[in-house]
Structure formats: structure tokens, C-alpha cells
A and B are shown apart, each in its own frame.
Chain A
Amino acid sequence: MRRFLDRLYFGSGVLAAAALAAIAVLVLAQTVGRLAGVLVPSANELAGYCVAASAFLGLAPTLNHGAHIRVRLLTQALPESLQRWFEGWCLLLALGLSAYAAWFAVDLVLGSWRYGDVSPGLLAVPLWIPQLGVAAGLLVFTVSLADNFLRLVRGRDPLYRMAEETEAVR
């Protein structure tokens, strides 16, 4: 199970990074194409979809690297045992919010699929394809929050704990 989860987060992160690189490639292709007089169809829309895919697929790996910012000033001053209660509250609330958002992201995908919505540009991309990146990212994020919450309940540290500690020292 552990190996599967770690691979899931890693895979999600690799896809997010690939989407980021794809933004650069698309924009460059369009710029070079404009100079050479070749039209790269729908590059603007596609780059926008890559921004969304990159940001949402990156959610879980970013969480586990402790890179989502938060205010730890007050909770840090508490004794260790109390800190764990606050951590549990943060994770549980985050889990609820993420699950809620994931639900409606899936709803958005299903809606676009059912009504056959397509992108406005030259290439009529069915909208459910890029929206799938958002939904999948939020689902993996929800899984990683549940994973971290269960770790905490079982008395272990959340995955991002180490990264946050070294961040504070670095």
C-alpha cells in the first residue's frame, strides 16, 4: 500500500512537471510559428489547460514536500502532544474541503462530457479531457490528506513533517 501511494504521488508530480514544461514548449512553438508564418492551432487554450493540469496534479506532491504555505507560528509554540491535535484538525478540515472540491470537479468533468462541451479555439478539444487533470489532481490530493491523517492517528508523523522541519532550519 505504502509503495502504491508513494508512486501515486510521484506519478502525479511527474505529470504536473511535464505539464509545466509543455506550457513553455507550446508558447515557444507559437512564438516561433508566428515569426515563420505557421499557425499553431489553439496554443493559447492548450497552454491554459496545462497551467490548470500542472497546478492541480501538483497538489499532493507539493503537500508532501511541505511546500504549501501555512502559518505555523502559534502552533509551533505549543507542546508536542497538543501540536498533534492541531495537526489533526488541519488535516481533517483539509480532507473535507478537498473531498468537496474533488466532488464538484468530477461533476464538472461529467457535465462537460454529457453536454459535449468543446474548447472555443480552432482545435475543438472536448473540455472534459483537460478538466480531468483538475479532478484527478484534487482526488490524489484528497487521498494524500487522508493518508497523512491516518499516519497521524497511528502515532506517526505526516509525510511533510520532515520537509517542514528542514525548511525552518535551512
Chain B
Amino acid sequence: MNPVEIGLLLVVVLFVLLGTGVWVALSLLAVGLFAMSVFTSAPVGLALGTSFWGSIATWSLAPLPLFVWMGEILFRSRLSEDMYGGLAPWLRRLPGRLLHVNVLGCGVFAAVSGSSAATAATIGRMSIPELRRRGYDEKMIIGTLAGSGTLGLLIPPSIILIVYGISAEVSIARLFIAGILPGLMLVALFMCYVMAWSLVHPQRTPPPDPPLPLLDRLRASTRLIPVLALIVAVIGSIYVGVATPTEAAALGVVGALILAAGTGGLSGRSFLDGLMGAMRTSTMIVFILACAAFLTTAMGYTGVPRLLAQWIAEQNLSPYALLAALTLFFIVLGCFLDGISVVVLTTSVILPMVKAAGIDPIWFGIFLVIVVEMSQITPPVGFNLFVLQGLTQRNIFRIAVAALPFFFLLLAAVVLVTVFPGLATWLPQRVSGG
């Protein structure tokens, strides 16, 4: 069999396993075992033991469970109410009014949370009933929330950037910093869209609440101080270079506990619930990483990724053509797989090819994450769609239609980051601490 045939066969095996409902992590493990035992003569079991141990028992993975835990604590706190109360008074005059609470709220929460579903759920829990009661357009409430929730993946801290950094062996601190500008750009894009939409459909935005005097507005904003302090402590310390991502994550856990306790959202029960929930989520992700690490080792033995890279290099594709093809491929893949699986499959198989084409791995991480953000809001498998289905009790395809404009805005962001790569690479270059 030539490597292309081997590669295709492995893809078929993987899709059969995934399609029949085998857990993602175990499907990756099975494909790795199959590839290694059929196509190589290397000692399979030995490689399995060492790649599990070597890839997981490492300090560089420590920020992942910690950031997951921080998110669980904040999800159980009263942050959701405080974010709504603190942001809403300032947004009454903008075209689109309180719809911006969804965008900005998600943007701010994304800076303390590493997950897209948690971001949409935390902000939506408060804003959906409030905006509905005031008569905002349901489609826009759902769309803004679904779209902006995905910011949780791009704006640091980000679980998926940690996953990418670990499996692509790229500095997590640099990836985090690289995500800042594209994240802010997306917030701006979303807000511009909301304003444009409401200028086109003025009759579909309810009248504003009576304006609050400035003093009251400022008083309301004090509710945002704890979360802003947490953002400064976590992202600021990484940016300035005084803390590694692991230290920043531990700091974030303590900060989140203090914040939850200070706003009266922390009991022994919620602490334990949060810890157990974090343990399960992080187990799920780390186990996928462990199995993906073995798959990477197995694929390395078969030589398929190297030959794929060679083959791509011989095609003399322009990097733009390669990226366009990859974008399309990821969008299709993202309809059926979750983001973490897409990322680990990419780094196991496609990354050598990307490096061979001369693409910067940090930049590629940001590109990949924006594409994965799109997969969060495409049916049939889109985690943000599931979250919003739970919050609104609407049909998943209706939610997907509401989110469609934001899918295209994300696509526009992919194009912008490709045309202006500096958006992702400029800021990390300013930072000395690696």
C-alpha cells in the first residue's frame, strides 16, 4: 500500500469508529493501534505506555485543569448578574442597545474563561430572560449569544489554545497573547454588525429604558470591578511576563474563589460541585490529548504525515490556496466533530504539512481556533447551539439559522487574519517572556 492509500484507509476507520458512537479519545487510540500494528514493526505497547506517560505527566499541561476549574467556579458564582447589571446601563444609546450586552459580556467573560459553551451559558442565563422581557428580536438575542460565546475559545485564557500549544509544541503564553487582537477584532465586528442590523430594522429594537444619571451608571459599573481585576491578574501577569500560564491559572483559581465568596456565591456544596465538574471536564480533554499523543507517535512511525507534507510541497500550492482548502476541510469536519478533536487531529496529521508550507505555527493556531469557533455554531454538532437550545428551548436548526450571520462574520475574520497576519503575530513579538 502506498502512504496515500494508508492515509485514506485510516480516515475511513476513524470515521466508522466515530460514526458508530465510539468515544472520541478511544477512537483515536484505536486508529493509532491499528496503524502501528498493521503498517509498522515497532513495539506498540511500549510506545503506548511511554507516550501516555510522557505526554500527560508534564508541568506544561497544568494550566488546563486549572483554567477549567476557574471556569467552573465562576459559572457557579453570581458573576452573570453582575456582568449584566454593570454593562447594561452604558449600552442603552448604541444602535442595537442591550444586544451589545451579549457581545461585550461574552467578550469580558471570555477573558476569564477558556470555553465557548461556558461563556454562552453564563452570559445567556441572565441576558436571555432580560432581553426577552424587553421585547428584543429573538433571532438577534440567540444569534449574538451563539456568535459571541465562541470568543471564549480565542480570547485568553483558552482551553483549546492550551490543547493546540501542547500538541503542536508551541509556547502557550505566546499563543494566548496572539489571541488578544483577533479576539478584540471579532468583538468589534460583532458590534458593528449589531449596529448595522438595528439601523436597517429600527422597528425591531424596543425603545430604550429611561437613561440613568451618570453617577448611578458609575455605581452600577462597580459591579464589574472584581471581574476586571481578575482579567488583569490573569492575562496581565502573562502579558507582562511575571507569571507563566500555569501560575496565572493557579492565581485565577484563587481569584475566582475570592470573587465567588465575596459576591455570596460560594458554599461548601458549590465548591465541591465545581471541583468535581472540573475534574470530569479536564479528564475528558486530557484523555483525548493522551490518545492523540499516541496517535501522533503512531502516525510518525507510519510516515504518512511526512509524505503528505512532501506531497503538498511538490504541488507548489500557494499558502493561500492551501489555507483555503484547509478552511473548507475544517468547516466540514467541524460540523460533525467538536473543536478539541479537530485540533488534535490537525496537529497529529496536518501540522508537518503546514510547517513545510512555511506557515508560522503560532499564527496557524489562531487561524485554526477561529475556524473551530465557526464549528461551534454549525449544525448538527455545534456545542454553542446545544447550550442555547437548553437556554431557549428552541429547535436547534432555528438557532443555527439565527447564528448564521455570525458564522459569516467569523469567516470574514479568517480572511482578515490571513490577509493581515500581523493581527496575530505582532503582539507576541513585542513580548519578551516566552
The chain A residues found within 8 Å of chain B, CB to CB, are: 13, 16-17, 20-21, 23-24, 27-28, 30-31, 44-45, 47-52, 54-56, 58-59, 61-62, 65, 67-75, 86-87, 89-90, 93-94, 97-98, 100-101, 103-105, 107-108, 130-131, 134, 168-170
Q: Is the CB of B69 within 8 A of A131?
A: no
Does B263 have its Cβ within 8 Å of any Cβ on chain A?
no
B17: chain A residues at CB < 8 Å are: 93
A55: chain B residues at CB < 8 Å are: 56, 65, 282-283, 286-287, 290
Would you give the shortest CB distance from A43 to chain B, in whole angstroms?
Answer: 9
A67: chain B residues at CB < 8 Å are: 280-281, 283-284
Would you give the shortest CB distance from B30 to chain A, in whole angstroms?
Answer: 6
User: Chain B 159-197, CB within 8 Å of chain A: the 1/0 string?
Assistant: 000000000000000000000000000000000000000
Task: Knowing A23-B66, A31-B250, A45-B59 are in contact, say whether A105-B283 is a contact too (CB < 8 A).
Answer: no
Candidates A28, A58, A108; contact of B282 at CB < 8 Å? A58
12 CB < 8 A contacts A-B? A24-B66, A27-B66, A28-B251, A47-B59, A54-B283, A55-B56, A90-B23, A98-B26, A100-B48, A104-B49, A108-B50, A134-B56
Would you give the shortest CB distance from B121 to chain A, in whole angstroms?
Answer: 10
Candidates A27, A50, A71, A130; contact of B336 at CB < 8 Å? A71
Does B316 have its Cβ within 8 Å of any Cβ on chain A?
no
Does B21 have its Cβ within 8 Å of any Cβ on chain A?
yes
User: Chain B 251-294, CB within 8 Å of chain A: the 1/0 string?
Assistant: 10110000000000000000000011011111110111010000
Q: Is the CB of B22 within 8 A of A90?
A: yes
For A58, the closest partner residue in chain B by CB is B283
Task: Knowing A21-B275, A70-B23, A97-B29 are in contact, say whether A27-B48 is a contact too (CB < 8 A).
Answer: no
Q: Is the CB of B26 within 8 A of A93?
A: yes
For A76, the closest partner residue in chain B by CB is B21
Q: Is the CB of B22 within 8 A of A93?
A: yes
Candidates B24, B45, B61; contact of A48 at CB < 8 Å? B61
Q: Is the CB of A47 within 8 A of B246?
A: yes
Which of A58, A65, A72 is most buried by chain B, counting CB atoms within 10 A of its CB?
A: A58
Would you give the shortest CB distance from B212 to chain A, in whole angstroms?
Answer: 35
The 10 nearest A-B residue pairs measured at CB = A58-B283, A55-B286, A27-B250, A52-B57, A108-B49, A104-B49, A44-B59, A104-B45, A75-B21, A17-B279
Question: With the chains together, A32 CA to B45 CA distance in Å?
Answer: 41
Question: With the chains together, A55 CA to B286 CA distance in Å?
Answer: 6
B53: chain A residues at CB < 8 Å are: 52, 105, 108, 131, 134
A50: chain B residues at CB < 8 Å are: 62
Q: Is the CB of B281 within 8 A of A100?
A: no
Question: With the chains together, A168 CA to B419 CA distance in Å?
Answer: 39
